[in-house]
């Protein structure tokens, strides 16, 4: 069975006011002092956030347990500093982010200017194991039309600098400013993939392979495909659902490749339209259907995704839990809807953030 690992980025905020706090160095020091084994935490581009990575898991129950464990550990360490962590794709409150202290972060700030300064965004990356680069690239070619649906399911960043952005995932709009971000055209083979990556590096616009910010890529560190399109999810059960669906997509794509199935021929331009639509409305309106790239009700598109991966989910023992999680997500709404509902109820962005920090802490 394919293993799955998750990377989540969390926002550091003041426990009382909800304002972002540049405390990542201090929080990381506390987590290391507590001796949690090999620390899963890393600093991020801005000091108002930190990231953790789970171990590879084949069982989704274990993955859920680990996600909750590391969220709780991050909240505990932040709490010792009068802060909290919030699983939010962007800060609802105005913020002037602080660039991290590492040499790489300073290089990014100098190279990309305001794009770097404004990248206080929190995403969720899902890694799924593959047998080879050839299988991995075949998977990347075949799951491209479905990535926008994953973005819609995870949408959790409606606010930007103190105002409603009118988007469900404004993080995806901000992230799209990087020159190497977004969907990719078909590769056809592992050699073509690596040639395209090298061509981008040869421009010297990018620093290294870590800056290949495609929506989905071969990991340059692990034998995995890495799906990078999602917002960090407010509810950890949505993170587990996302990981479940991604593994189903990877397995389905690999089976299609082995049986001679060809990938859909959509170009990156129309896939970018699908991603924009998903970021704009989340699950609240229409999405571009991955079979046709025509707008259809979001619920119909989500059900098409479930049907597409049904066999793989069934073979992994994940079908019933995925159905239940989708039903709960439909009832509760995405993080974007939860945030807007909180603001409507409380009338305060500060209360919204502290409520979301409580949800993150569990």
pLDDT, tens digit, for every residue of 258-271? 999 999 999 999 99
The 10s digit of each residue's pLDDT in 44-99 is: 999 999 999 999 999 999 999 999 999 999 999 999 999 999 999 999 999 999 99
Q: Please calculate the CA angle 241-247-248 and round it to the nearest 5 degrees.
A: 90
**Looking at residue 291, what is its pLDDT?**
98
Q: What DSSP string describes 234-272?
A: SSHHHHHHHHHHHHHHHHHHHHHHHTTPPPP---HHHHH
Residues 6 or more apart in contact with residue 55 via CB below 8 angstroms = 5, 40, 66
Residue 199's alpha-carbon distances to 107, 141, 309, in angstroms, are 21, 19, 34
**What is the C-alpha separation between 21 and 68, in angstroms, rounded?**
22
Classify domain 4-355 at the CATH topology level: Creatine Kinase; Chain A, domain 2 (3.30.590)
**What is the C-alpha separation between 143 and 164, in angstroms, rounded?**
31
Whether residue 76 contacts residue 20, with contact meaning beta carbons closer than 8 Å, is answered with no
**Looking at residue 201, what is its pLDDT?**
97
- pLDDT band, very low/low/confident/very high, at 34 (cuts 50, 70, 90): confident
185 has a pLDDT exceeding 90:
yes
User: Alpha-carbon dihedral of residues 320, 324, 329, 332, nearest 10 degrees?
Assistant: -170
- Range list of β-strands (E), 83-132: 83-86, 123-129
150 has a pLDDT exceeding 70:
yes
The 10s digit of each residue's pLDDT in 246-259 is: 999 999 999 999 99
């Amino acid at each position: 069975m394919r293993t799955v690992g998750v990377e989540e980025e969390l926002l550091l905020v003041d426990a009382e006011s909800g304002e972002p706090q540049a405390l990542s160095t201090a929080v990381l020091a506390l987590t290391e002092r507590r001796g949690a084994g090999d620390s899963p935490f890393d600093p991020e581009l801005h000091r108002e956030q930190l990231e953790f990575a789970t171990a590879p898991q084949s069982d989704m129950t274990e993955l859920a347990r680990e996600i909750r464990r590391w969220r709780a550990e991050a909240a505990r360490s932040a709490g010792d500093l009068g802060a909290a962590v919030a699983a939010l794709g962007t800060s609802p409150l105005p913020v002037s982010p602080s660039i991290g202290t590492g040499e790489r972060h300073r290089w990014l700030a100098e190279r990309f200017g305001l794009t770097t300064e404004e990248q206080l965004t929190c995403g969720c990356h899902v890694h799924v194991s593959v047998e080879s680069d050839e299988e991995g690239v075949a998977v990347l070619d075949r799951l491209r039309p479905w990535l926008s649906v994953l973005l819609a399911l995870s949408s959790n960043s409606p606010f930007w600098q103190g105002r409603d952005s009118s988007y469900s995932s404004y993080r995806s709009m901000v992230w799209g400013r990087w020159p190497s971000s977004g969907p990719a055209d078909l590769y056809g083979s592992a050699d073509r993939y690596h040639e395209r990556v090298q061509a981008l590096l040869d421009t010297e616009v990018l620093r290294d392979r870590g800056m290949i910010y495609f929506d989905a890529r071969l990991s340059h560190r692990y034998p995995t495909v890495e799906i990078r399109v999602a917002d960090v999810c407010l509810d950890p059960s949505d993170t587990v659902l996302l990981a479940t669906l991604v593994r189903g997509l990877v397995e389905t794509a690999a089976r299609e490749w082995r049986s001679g199935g060809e990938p859909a021929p959509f170009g990156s331009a129309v896939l970018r339209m699908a991603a924009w639509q998903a970021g704009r409305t989340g699950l609240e309106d229409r999405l571009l259907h991955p079979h046709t790239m025509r707008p259809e009700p979001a619920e119909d598109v989500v059900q098409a995704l479930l049907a597409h991966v049904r066999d793989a989910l069934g073979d992994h023992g994940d079908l019933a839990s995925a159905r239940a999680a989708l039903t709960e997500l439909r009832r509760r709404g995405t993080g974007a809807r939860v945030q807007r509902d909180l603001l409507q109820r409380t009338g305060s962005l500060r209360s919204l953030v502290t409520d979301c920090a409580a949800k993150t802490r569990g």
